[in-house]
Structure 1
Amino acid sequence: MPVNPRPIRIAVQLQPQHATYEQIRESAAELEGLGVDILFNWDHFYPLNGDRDGLHFEAWTMLAALAEQTRRVELGTLVNCNSYRNANLQADMARTIDRISAHGTGQGRFIFGTGSGWFERDYDEYGYRFGTAGQRLDALAENLPVIADRWTKLNPPPTRKIPVLIGGAGEKKTLGIVAAHADIWHSYSDVSTLEHKLGVLAAHASVVGRNMAEIEISVGVLDSIADVSFADADRMRQLGASLFTIGLSGPNYDLSVVPDWLAWRDERNAA
């Protein structure tokens, strides 16, 4: 696969766990000031690590607040859980945040990051049916066209074609859904795994008649489940990756790693 001509972008996932909202708001402002391209959170109801009953906030309402607070960065969930909300409601919520984020420019900044869901405690505690992984993926595939259709019916409509990011790397179903519906594909992969998965994704894209160049490749580079060096990021770039996401958890968001990644971005984009 040739080098993707897209410029490198750096995202930060402010994981909404173990921190006060004030800490999250201040970190978001600082990250926008530093020059990150995208701010993500995640769509869970309880912490994923640390104190399982620690501080935690809901994703979508927080994104609406961050959309009003910020001026430049794009925003989204990494990722929304398709199971927790009706498909048409998801579309309406996305459109609304897109509109909120357009203040001052008229151009929305919302990214619709989504996935099939996996954290069973969320389902059990909030009364959702967990089912099987296959059932949840089938539901995601069924809902994405509904969401896209609802965007054409809303008044006012979204300010732009809202980018759809799909997270996950399952080869049989998930990557087929990515090929059919995603503008951005996100995974946590090392270099060899990414190379293999891109081959699988290309095969799915061929089946549905999709040009792989239409799909932006996103990888997690630094958090509790990823630790990617700059050398590895360069190799991922050669494979086609252009969006690199740092995951940060509360209570004290350590932003010190971000400037180095921004400098790497700027150096590579200037080359």
Structure 2
Amino acid sequence: MLLDTPVRLGVQIQPQHATYAQIRDAVTRLEDMGVDILFNWDHFFPLFGDPDGAHFEGWTMLAAWAEQTERVEFGALVNCNSYRNPDLQADMARTIDHISGGRFIFGTGSGWFERDYTEYGYEFGTAGSRLNDLADGLDRIVARWGKLNPAPTRHIPVMIGGKGEQKTLRLVARHADIWHSFVTPDELGHKVSVIEKWAETEERDVSGLIVSNELARRDESDADALFDAGVRLFTLGWAPGEPDFDAVAAWLRWRDGKNGA
């Protein structure tokens, strides 16, 4: 893993319980503050709070962010493979990549929130079947990126979330540039070793893999332990309806301290 890479801070703007004006304003302010990456998520209903509260769709929002922003990278934490044809996902990602001038991160996962499936008419299946679909989908997405005209502006970074050792971490070893999880510092070494073993099977070099983890409900001592364990991308779940810019500023100072700024 790239332990000498700079620490980056990503803020996940939760697309729920807020107006779009609040989300748009947050995007501008967070970019101006120096956040490295902005994320949303790919669901159709709120994940907590009022289950029928305000909520916005993720991919159309990302296209808007591509035009609105100038510096910050952005993507979903994470896209749900189940909702869209994989070749379409590849085309949408390539288009947003061009709109943004090469700042899009393709974060993806197999999906888990059953209400999204049942109310929108998708087959929920099982955790195993959804992971199998993700494996097939990622192969198709990468293949489609090689066929599109125009091609993506760059190698679009692939971010995969999850910690399952038999399927998810093998997909990380096969495709990911960034691996995201919520595992504890004590667990990280073992999980990385699993990725490295799968990388041998996949015949892929994962020495450049960026390890990502979440800061919500954690303090600086927790973040220090994650840093020592190899995490270099730190994400912060953040509510635009109740914006706490001071918390972001504090984590930016922590980031800058780690980077020697």
TM-score, normalized by length of structure 1?
0.93
Query: Which deviations, in whole Å up to 9, do the C-alpha atoms of 1:45-71 show, x marking residues without a partner?
Result: 000000000000000000000110000
Query: Which deviations, in whole Å up to 9, do the C-alpha atoms of 1:140-162 show, x marking residues without a partner?
Result: 00111111111111111111010
- Which residue of structure 1 aligns with residue 206 of structure 2? 212
Runs of 4 or more consecutive aligned structure 1 residues displaced over 4 Å after TM superposition = none
* 2:10 corresponds to 1:6: no
Task: Choose the corresponding residue for 1:197, options 161, 182, 191.
Answer: 191
- C-alpha distance in 2 between matches for 1:268 and 1:210: 30
Paired letter, 2:219: S
- C-alpha distance in 2 between matches for 1:228 and 1:208: 34
- Does the aligned pair in 1 maintain the 2:62–2:75 contact within 8 Å? yes
Shift in Å, 1:168: 0.8
Q: Which deviates the most, 235-244 or 123-132? A: 235-244
Match of 1:270, SS state, is coil
* 2:109 corresponds to 1:115: yes
- Does the aligned pair in 2 maintain the 1:219–1:241 contact within 8 Å? yes
- Which residue of structure 2 aligns with residue 94 of structure 1? 93
Task: Choose the corresponding residue for 2:147, options 130, 145, 153.
Answer: 153
Shift in Å, 1:208: 1.9
Unaligned runs of 5+ in 2: none
- C-alpha distance in 2 between matches for 1:233 and 1:213: 22
Aligned ranges 1:59-70 → 2 under 5 Å? 59-70=58-69
Paired letter, 1:255: F
Residues 154 and 181 of structure 1, relative CA distance in 2, 3 Å threshold: same
Identity over aligned residues, as a percent?
Answer: 60
- C-alpha distance in 1 between matches for 2:56 and 2:64: 12
- C-alpha distance in 1 between matches for 2:171 and 2:202: 10
Query: Which deviations, in whole Å up to 9, do the C-alpha atoms of 1:203-241 show, x marking residues without a partner?
Result: 22232233332211000111xxxx222222222222221
* 2:233 corresponds to 1:239: no
Aligned ranges 1:120-159 → 2 under 5 Å? 120-159=114-153
* 2:252 corresponds to 1:252: no
- Which residue of structure 2 aligns with residue 263 of structure 1? 253
Shift in Å, 1:182: 0.5
- C-alpha distance in 2 between matches for 1:259 and 1:205: 37
Query: Which deviations, in whole Å up to 9, do the C-alpha atoms of 1:124-182 show, x marking residues without a partner?
Result: 00000000100000010011111111111111111101000001111111011111110
- C-alpha distance in 2 between matches for 1:86 and 1:230: 41
- Which residue of structure 2 aligns with residue 18 of structure 1? 17
Match of 1:11, SS state, is strand
- C-alpha distance in 1 between matches for 2:72 and 2:236: 15
Shift in Å, 1:250: 3.9
- Does the aligned pair in 2 maintain the 1:91–1:150 contact within 8 Å? yes
Paired letter, 1:142: D
- Which residue of structure 2 aligns with residue 186 of structure 1? 180
Shift in Å, 1:270: 1.5
- Does the aligned pair in 2 maintain the 1:116–1:140 contact within 8 Å? yes
Q: Which deviates the most, 205-214 or 241-250? A: 205-214
Match of 2:232, SS state, is strand
Match of 1:213, SS state, is coil
Paired letter, 1:260: A
Paired letter, 2:65: L
- C-alpha distance in 2 between matches for 1:69 and 1:250: 17
Match of 2:106, SS state, is strand
- Does the aligned pair in 1 maintain the 2:26–2:240 contact within 8 Å? no
- C-alpha distance in 2 between matches for 1:68 and 1:79: 20
Paired letter, 2:11: V
- Which residue of structure 1 aligns with residue 47 of structure 2? 48
Paired letter, 2:255: R
Q: Which deviates the most, 243-252 or 157-166? A: 243-252
